[in-house]
Amino acid sequence: MSPFSSESAWLCLAATAVLGGMLLCKSGSPGQLRSQVLCLAGLWGGACLLGLSLLCSVFLLSASCFLLYLSSSDQDLLPVDQKAVLVTGADSGFGHALAKHLDKLGFTVFAGVLDKEGPGAEELRKNCSERLSVLQMDVTKPEQIEDAHSKVTEKIQDKGLWAVVNNAGVLHFPIDAELLPMTFFRKCMAVNFFGAVEVTKAFLPLLRKSKGRLVNVSSMGGVVPFQMLSAYGSTKAAITMFSSILRQELAKWGVKVVTIQPGGFKTNITGSQDSWDKMEKEILDHFSKEIQEDYGQDYVRKQKHMLLAMKDLSNLDLTPVLRDIHHAISARNPSSSYSPGRMTYPFICFAAYSPSSLLDHFMKKHFRPIQMPRALRTAH
C-alpha cells in the first residue's frame, strides 16, 4: 500500500507545508531559505516513500524544522545609518548594480572600478547620490588598493567601514585545461583570488574596528565542476575555502564572513566579441604540433558557441543576487553562504554530496563540449 494513502502521511505532509510556509514568511532572505525548505520537503517525501513509522517521520520532520528555525532566527535587518560599504568590480555586472542598489538604500558606497574614466564609472557618478564615491581600484595592483584604502579612511574617519564586498572577477575562454595557456590561469587567479585576498588584508583592520561584514562573491562554479572552465572554477573554489577559513578566524573579532555563490546571471564577465577573438588567437598561437593533430583548430573555434549559449541561458534579472548580498550586509545574523539563482542551491548540494560517478555522468550528459576533438572524431 502506498505511504501516501494513509491519513497520517497526508497530515504530516500538510504539517511540512505549514511549517515551511512559516519559515519562508519569517525569513529576510526568502530565496536562500526557499531552497532549504525544498530540501526539507524532499527529505520528508523520501521518509514517506521509505515507509518509516509515523513516530520516526515526525521526529525527523521536527528536528529538521527546528534546525531550519535556528538558522533563520534573528533575521532582522540592522538600520542603514549611512553605513559605509566598499564594492570592488563596480564597472559593470553585480558590482555596478549593487553599488547603485546600496546607494538608493542610504548606504555610503565606495565603488572600486577598473577604469575610473570608463562608462560604468561615469554612470555611477551621474545617477547616484553624493554618498557614493568612485575609486580607481584595479585589484591586481597593490598601489591602487593602498590608495583606495587611504581615501576610504580619510572619508569615513571615525564612522568606520561596515562591509567589504569582493566582487571583481574575470572569466576565460571556455576550453579544455590542456589547451588553456598559463597566462589565462594566472590572470584568473590574480583577479578572482589574489586580488580579493589583497583587498581583504588591506581593509580588515577597518572591519575589525566596526565588527562588520566581509562578503566574497564566489560562484556555483567553485563547487560544480563545469567542463571548459578549469581556471575560473579553481579560483572560485579557492575564494570559497578562503572565506570558510576566515569565517572561523574572524569570529573572535565579531566580523562575519559570507560567501555568495550565484548561478547563471547575465553580466559582462563573459566579455565581448573582440575579447573572445583575442583569447582564441592566443590559444591557437600556443598550439604544438601534437595538440594540432589531436584537437584541431576548428575544435577551439567551435567552443566560442559556448559563450553565446552561456549568455542566452543566463538570467537577466540580478535582483536575487542583490537581495542576498544586501541581506548578508544588513542582517543581524546572516547566513554563512547564499546561492542566488534558480535551482542553484540544489545543484550545489548535488555536486557536493553525490557519488563522483553519478556527478560525472550527469555533467557529461548535460554539459558536453560543442564538438569532439579531431582525433576522437576520426576514431569514431
Place of cell 557529461: 364
Quick check: 338 and 332 in contact, CB under 8 A?
A: no
Q: Give strand pairing partners of 112.
A: 135
Give which of 263, 262, 259, 223 is closest to 335, Cα–Cα.
259
What span, in angstroms and rounded, lies between the C-alpha atoms of 12 and 6? 10
Residue type, 218: S
Q: What angle do helix axes 304-313 and 273-285 make, rounded to 10 degrees?
A: 150
Quick check: 2 and 9 in contact, CB under 8 A?
A: no
Q: Residue 7: count other Cβ atoms within 10 Å of its Cβ.
A: 7
Quick check: 165 and 212 in contact, CB under 8 A?
A: no
23-32 as b/e, with b when 16 or more CB fall inside 10 Å?
A: beeebbbbbb
Q: Could you tell me the CA-to-CA distances from 251 to 87, 247, 262 in Å, in that order?
A: 22, 6, 24
Point out the catalytic residue in the list 69, 232, 295, 338: 232
Note if 338 is an active site residue.
Answer: no
What span, in angstroms and rounded, lies between the C-alpha atoms of 35 and 37? 5
Q: Could you tell me the CA-to-CA distances from 269 to 15, 56, 95, 251 in Å, in that order?
A: 44, 48, 11, 32
Could you list the active site residues? 232
